Amino acid sequence: MRVAILGLGVIGTTYAYAFQKAGHETFHILRDGKRDIPFEISVHLFDGRYDSKGEEKDGTYNVLLAHENEEFDFIFISVASGNLNNALATIHKRNIKGTIVLFCNFWSERKEIEQIVGNLPYIIAFPTAGGHMNDGWNLNCVLFDHIMLESEEKAQIDNYSDLIALLTSADIKQEIPFDMLEWIWIHMAINAGVTSTAGRNGKIDNPNKLAKELMSDAKALKLAVKSIRETLKVVEGRGVNLGLYKNELLPYKIPAWLAGILMKKLFSYNELTYRIMTLHSDVNDILYGCKCVYDEGKKQGLELPLFYKNLERILE
């Protein structure tokens, strides 16, 4: 298949690498003014597709650029929250066609997303990958064995089976929640609870260090669970039935002290989860999600003392 990726970011390039290795053609749609684009990228992948403990792999990714008026089977968009308008403007300007796969956080209602996407066919998904790209175009990334994907009934795209085939060819499974958009709201609320706890001393300029400290401290993880219970009230206040997401929310239903101990043990032996927790370093993007949850909680008039106090220290 012909697959396009918007930009040369970490998430999109990680999946492009997996698709290229599976025999597909991958191209990148770059904004005007982008220069010094490499012909190839060195990749160090911690691969969780075949071994639950992860496997260290090294390889090379060949970079090909998309041109105006081209058509692709799928176009993957993974941009920082709030930047979808600009991303789609680039695609429209280049007159590039294809089914859009949205790998983004959304705090919007579906109708708002549809207004931004316009008449392009699209499906909402969520990646389970992370990493960083250094200035020398070396990609250090983690890839899990699955993605979260919208159901065929709710996506309503004509080539859903082709997307399943693309993912399957790269040994990427699909997990389909009751509602993809609601799942993302829950994911953002959980992240907000974790982030506000990790930065409870008022600083979040070094997310990697904060994540490591949090994952090694059972008492701090206990506080994170309590904060997550608060932030989930914000999602519930939007009309989401949390009972439909029991599996995702089970760790936050048990006693907080026990959850803290179990989570610490999980991070100590699950290298995949540990690494992905330490690799997201875009502070603005991290805080965007926290601020969305904070503003919505205030709007609903909810009492979330632990979350509000910790996040306000960071925002100050």
Cα 37 to Cα 137: distance, rounded to the nearest angstrom: 9
pLDDT at 219: 93
Catalogue all structural domains in the chain, each as residue range(s) with its CATH number.
2-176 (3.40.50.720), 181-315 (1.10.1040)
Q: Which of 286, 262, 277 is nearest to 208 (CA)?
A: 277
Reading the block at residue 218, the tokens are: 């059972």
Q: What is the pTM of this model?
A: 0.93
Calculate mean pLDDT across residues 186-194: 94
Cα 97 to Cα 75: distance, rounded to the nearest angstrom: 8
pLDDT, tens digit (0-9, with 9 covering 90-100), for 163-186: 999 999 999 999 999 999 999 999
Cα 127 to Cα 148: distance, rounded to the nearest angstrom: 7
Least confident of 48-52, 80-84, 96-100: 80-84
pLDDT, tens digit (0-9, with 9 covering 90-100), for 255-286: 999 988 988 888 888 888 888 777 766 778 78
Which residues lie below 8 Å from residue 186, measured CB to CB, with a gap of 6+? 232, 235, 240, 242, 245, 248, 249
Percent of the chain scoring above 70 in pLDDT: 97
pLDDT at 272: 82
pLDDT at 212: 85
Does residue 33 register a pLDDT over 80?
no
Question: pLDDT category, 225, cuts 50, 70, 90?
Answer: very high
Q: Are 225 and 261 in contact (CB under 8 A)?
A: no
Mean pLDDT of all residues in the chain?
91
- Quick count: other Cβ atoms within 10 Å of Cβ 307? 27
Question: pLDDT category, 207, cuts 50, 70, 90?
Answer: confident
Does residue 118 register a pLDDT over 90?
no
Cα 226 to Cα 213: distance, rounded to the nearest angstrom: 18
Q: Which amino acid is at 61?
A: Y
Kind and range of the H or E run holding 192: helix 180-198
Alpha carbon of residue 178 to chain centroid: 18
pLDDT at 34: 65
